[in-house]
Structure 1
């Protein structure tokens, strides 16, 4: 079971680190998506920091600080539930699969961490 947890969590870490970097760099697709769902550009550094903190927390969980890893997974699950809610509120469904994918990864990391 640890191998499944490790693999899923490493993928979740990589995905969240990548999207955090994209937020910090103000990548074109990030700017376009945030404008489409009504998230101000001024929020991007905070959102990137939350994603990066989640990735760092998951890494700490893998390294043995289990309560931090679980807390990070819970935080990421809540974060991406919020992202999906923002997409639904804005009625932007064409790219809702992206926050949905991040949510699935975070939830899988959490479930495997507590199993």
Structure 2
């Protein structure tokens, strides 16, 4: 269980950290996503910081389990709200969302199983 916990946590952290960088450097993909959802482009860096906080929180959770649990829970909430934003505008392009959401759920699940059972 320890190996799965470490591997999934690190993978989720790298995945969300890379998404955070994409948002923070002002790449065109997040801008297009914000435009499609009718959100201000000024929110891009805010979303990037949320993703960065989640990624760092997952890594911090390796030392402080509650921090990892909170970070993973926050990422699951973030992606749940992202799904609602997609559905609100009628977007059915959810493959990327599904991968990120599944990774966040997996990180939360292994965290809870490893530390809290």
* Same fold (TM > 0.5): yes
- Kindly indicate whether residue 79 of structure 2 is the aligned counterpart of residue 80 of structure 1: yes
Matches of 2:2 and 2:40, distance apart in 1: 39
User: What does residue 45 of structure 1 align with?
Assistant: 45
SS of equivalent to 1:93: coil
Matches of 2:76 and 2:15, distance apart in 1: 14
Q: Point out where structure 1 has 5 or more consecutive residues left out of the alignment.
A: none
CA distances 1:55-107 after superposition (whole Å, capped 9, x unpaired):
01000012x2000000000000000000011001011112x121221111011
List, as ranges, runs of 4+ consecutive aligned residues in structure 1 with deviation greater than 2 Å.
none
User: What does residue 98 of structure 1 align with?
Assistant: 96
Matches of 1:92 and 1:27, distance apart in 2: 20
Q: What's the TM-score once normalised by structure 1's chain length?
A: 0.94
Q: Point out where structure 2 has 5 or more consecutive residues left out of the alignment.
A: none
Cα RMSD over matched residues? 0.8
Q: What's the TM-score once normalised by structure 2's chain length?
A: 0.93
How far has the Cα of 1:30 moved from its partner? 1.2
Matches of 1:38 and 1:20, distance apart in 2: 20
Matches of 2:31 and 2:60, distance apart in 1: 30
